[in-house]
Amino acid sequence: MGTKGRQIVGMDVDKLLDILNQAFADEWLAYYQYWLGAKIVKGPMKDAVASELLLHANEELAHADMLALRIIQLGGTPLISPEAWLKHTHCGYDAPTDPFVKRILSQNIQGEQCAIEVYQKLLQLVKDPDPVTYNLVLTILQQEVEHEEDLQSLDEDIDLLMMRN
Ligand SMILES: [Fe+2]
Ligand SMILES: [Fe+2]
């Protein structure tokens, strides 16, 4: 923990740590949902979809990494077990039980939309009291917005392909 770094945060740091750990849980679950989706996805354009899902998986893992570092900086501990991820998650885990491309895409689009809402709220919360977290959350939010659009445009391409066939 950096003592001065923690001291300059102008809000309840323990409350902030809880929220950062919720986001940390969401990122691990999103990572796994994407990673598994990339392995099992089936249907039109599955190769393009799988490579996009894998790219997103790696970016979600990078988000978990950024959040863990910030949690530690602030004197907290990242959630120490997968059971804790499920207990603290905000956006949940939507198991890809149906491997059809459009179903997998729709589940992950929902996940991205939840993440965008969570990070947008967090951004407002830390805007004045904690510019360091603000900067980190802004970086993550920008990528979640990209993710949503990547998936929605793939979904549109699949619709076009299916309509023409
Ligand atoms: Fe993420
Ligand atoms: Fe994402």
Q: 0.85 cut: is pTM over it?
A: yes
Instruction: Indicate the burial class of 9 (C-beta count within 10 angstroms; 0-12, 13-18, 19 or more).
Output: middle
Q: Separation of 164 CA from ligand 2 center, angstroms?
A: 30
Rounded mean pLDDT of the chain? 97
- Residues at Cβ < 5 Å from ligand 1 ion: 27, 60, 63
Q: What is the pLDDT of residues 55-104, one digit of tens each?
A: 999 999 999 999 999 999 999 999 999 999 999 999 999 999 999 999 99
Q: Separation of 144 CA from ligand 2 center, angstroms?
A: 4
pLDDT at 109: 98
Which ligand places an atom closest to the C-alpha of 112?
A: 2
Which ligand places an atom closest to the C-alpha of 137?
A: 1
pLDDT at 2: 87
pLDDT at 123: 98
Q: Separation of 154 CA from ligand 1 center, angstroms?
A: 19
Structure tokens at 164: 């023409």
Instruction: Indicate the burial class of 125 (C-beta count within 10 angstroms; 0-12, 13-18, 19 or more).
Output: middle
CA neighbor of 97 nearest in space, from 40, 154, 56: 40
pLDDT at 1: 82
Query: Which residues does residue 42 pair with via DSSP β-bridges, in sequence order?
Result: 100
Q: Separation of 56 CA from ligand 2 center, angstroms?
A: 6
Q: Separation of 143 CA from ligand 2 center, angstroms?
A: 6
Q: What is the pLDDT of residues 120-151, one digit of tens each?
A: 999 999 999 999 999 999 999 999 999 999 99
